[in-house]
Amino acid sequence: MRKNRNPGYTQLARLPCGNGTRLVPLGEIQIDDVVIVAAEETIAIDGTIVVGAGVIDESMITGEYVAERTVGDQVYASTVLLQGALEILVERIDDQNRNQIPASAKRKVQ
């Protein structure tokens, strides 16, 4: 992902490639891809953590400023990984609704 302190802004995603990674435009991401996110990067997709753990700023989605997340937990587009490193299985791609709150997060808030 592109590092940017603006939590709604990211145009690239990092995918595993051989022994390294490659940056690709978000429009090329597919369901079931694994996206790599490093500390201080904006999470650009909705998915489930498959490797790693981290502290995420989810305030714009759930109201929780700091949420600890680990393998098996859901993460949401436009949140920011404050600490840690994650590999996330892409489960939702919806460019038109990317900035809308996912239904599962709405349930958490209620």
Flag whether pLDDT at 90 surpasses 50: yes
pLDDT confidence of 63, banded at 50, 70, 90? confident
- DSSP string across 39-102: TTEEP-SEEEEEEEEEEEE-TTTTS-S-EEEETT-EE-TT-EEEEEEEEEEEEE--GGGTTSPP
pLDDT at 8: 43
Q: Report the chain's mean pLDDT, rounded to a whole number.
A: 81
Report which of residues 40 and 109 the model is more confident about.
40
The model's pLDDT over 13-23, given as tens digits with 9 standing for 90+, comes to 899 999 999 99
CA-to-CA distance for 93 and 110, rounded, in angstroms?
A: 24
Flag whether pLDDT at 60 surpasses 60: yes
pLDDT at 66: 85
Flag whether pLDDT at 69 surpasses 80: yes
